[in-house]
Structure 1
């Protein structure tokens, strides 16, 4: 079955493709036309933190410019989605003149799926925000679930960004076709303009969803930080509590006579000499544990920019460093054969 398609398209059928678009042109002495084109998207639908599914909807269009005949293949669509696509398919007159009208109609269905996927994630985050304090305390026992949701948010943001870029490439390809086949496009300028308008509209929808997903991700990170804050506060007081347990009450003495007074030993400075360095050491280890991957990414980015001869400040070097602060811990836990922070998943 795959042998009936172009070699570049075959990986789309059986591999995990985050998103793609390609266009092969045909030509004659009088004109140039998009003979074969396809667009592929990746959608992740999340029902719960542990119940999710990946979809890879794809459209493949073959177009004969002389007769206007099209051969359309749709992959990764359920029967109800196929019906929705057929209901939104362009008119026969438009399809005969412009195969990109099919990509525009397909993108409209895909963006509806991305919108539904966003609201599924939003409901997960909102559901956690609305929980009572007691319920959140109980949820801390299953803290990895919060990071499962965070992982889903990262994946959504990644896939919607790729989808936006795919739509941008389709819009650019429309312009390339117009430059190469000016006479034919001018004769059917209405269908060309309409297809481009609809693709740009879906591109804007993708950008809006990307912006909302970033805001939703920030909201969820705030929830994670609220859970993490008590742990950090506990670490501040833990060393002092531990040391006081070792020393006991040997530094203090209660004297009933005279005057029911408390006496403090001259060696009480030893408590502070041990507690303060131990507290700083504990916080330092936690800081390295939490920010090591971000620091490594920052150093690597600075080195890459120096290698390219680009001069930039510290602010530029830290821009858009999107690293998972838990990857160092994950490596350590995996190496010691303990449970992983996040569940395994392939995209």
Structure 2
């Protein structure tokens, strides 16, 4: 293990290169096999290693994103990164795939996956999930923004740098490596990619099921929520959850496109391997099959997420319809009360007019006809406007 110092003295000059602590997975022998070693070192040990053994390198990007131009330059030279990879356009992208170089000399790839996961909030004392008034679980969420850079040459460097990957991702890679022979590493520049994509798929799987659990709970709570009258908080919860469902659908769509480009590029490599020895061609075909398999899995996740999005939208529509029905019931009650008091109001209004003299003896004014001349046409006009006019015309008429 290398113990790298921030400041060392070489040829009487100060070397102030920025260090970067990394986790490394590499085979214990000279060639890749089932035994892989996990250790922590500095990135410069990987860059200066000339053995050419395959290495998985895991690091965090805070130092790189914060500046460190010397460190960036060393990584760009070693992994063949695009010079504008640290720009917001690329680094804040929701996914991409790029490659360069001839696989017979040196081939480089760079790609990115985003995963959004929700986590139900538990009470620290009881360990039970916290819930809202409507019985829905409270939750938090987290973004995994993973970037990957690989470099491969037949007799030289074979390494992939994995940035901002969670611990469960690294554990998945370790388990996958322990169950494979490693025959693909010497012959295919995409030897790392099935392991990486397999780890990404495992995180996507956990993310989709966690989101599905929240959607399913809102469905199961439907009967309980049916008795509720105040839907404001429930609408806020449903719409906030909808935001996470939409995000998941978006990044899964991008992930399938990333996989499509990766499979297409590797398909070209497979077609050029027609004249290769059988063992090499079989190893390349194995990688192609694995990538194609994971592409199908991601497409299945995408379909599941789209279905879940529709289910959740149905819950929102149903909650809205119930709220509208509750409002309609309230308006019906108000209309009923209005009808109850309308006759008495009409009678009192009639007898309060100046057409009647209720002094010592009831008398009817000779000008009572004025009331009917005005009231009857206005009533007929209103009824015709309501029955035959376009929808909402009565409201537009009275808005003047």
Count, aligned residues: 269
Residues 335-346 of structure 1 mapped to structure 2, 5 A cutoff: none
The 1-side partners of 2:210 and 2:155 are apart by 45
Residue 18 (structure 1) aligned with residue 106 (structure 2) = no
Contact 1:111 1:205 in 2 (8 A): yes
Aligned equivalent of 2:284: 192
Contact 2:113 2:255 in 1 (8 A): yes
Shift in alpha-carbon separation, 1:205–1:197, aligned structure 2, 3 A? same
Cα offsets for 1:304-324 (capped at 9, x unmatched): xxxxxxxxxxxxxxxxxxxxx
Q: Stretches of 4+ moved more than 6 A in 1?
A: 265-268, 273-279
Residue 102 (structure 1) aligned with residue 195 (structure 2) = no
User: Match of 1:10, SS?
Assistant: coil
Match of 1:38 among 110, 117, 121: 110
Residues 1-347 of structure 1 mapped to structure 2, 5 A cutoff: 1-3=71-73, 4-5=75-76, 6=81, 7-11=83-87, 15-26=91-102, 32=104, 35-48=107-120, 51-67=140-156, 69-89=157-177, 91-131=181-221, 133-135=223-225, 137=228, 140-142=231-233, 143-180=235-272, 182-184=274-276, 188-233=280-325, 234=327, 238=331, 249=342, 280-281=391-392
The 2-side partners of 1:154 and 1:116 are apart by 17
The structure carrying a bigger helix percent of its residues is: 1
User: Match of 1:100, SS?
Assistant: coil
The 1-side partners of 2:315 and 2:158 are apart by 51
The structure carrying a bigger strand percent of its residues is: 2
Contact 2:249 2:305 in 1 (8 A): yes
RMSD of Structure 2 on Structure 1 (CA): 3.9
Shift in alpha-carbon separation, 1:203–1:230, aligned structure 2, 3 A? same
Shift in alpha-carbon separation, 1:269–1:47, aligned structure 2, 3 A? farther
Contact 1:33 1:177 in 2 (8 A): no
Unaligned 5+ runs, structure 1: 255-264, 286-347
Aligned equivalent of 2:9: none
The 1-side partners of 2:337 and 2:277 are apart by 83
Q: How far apart are 1:167 and its partner, in Å?
A: 1.0
Contact 2:118 2:142 in 1 (8 A): yes
Unaligned 5+ runs, structure 2: 1-70, 121-137, 349-374
Bigger mean CA deviation after superposition, 51-60 or 87-96? 87-96
The 2-side partners of 1:40 and 1:204 are apart by 18
Aligned equivalent of 1:341: none
Contact 2:94 2:114 in 1 (8 A): yes
Contact 2:270 2:281 in 1 (8 A): no
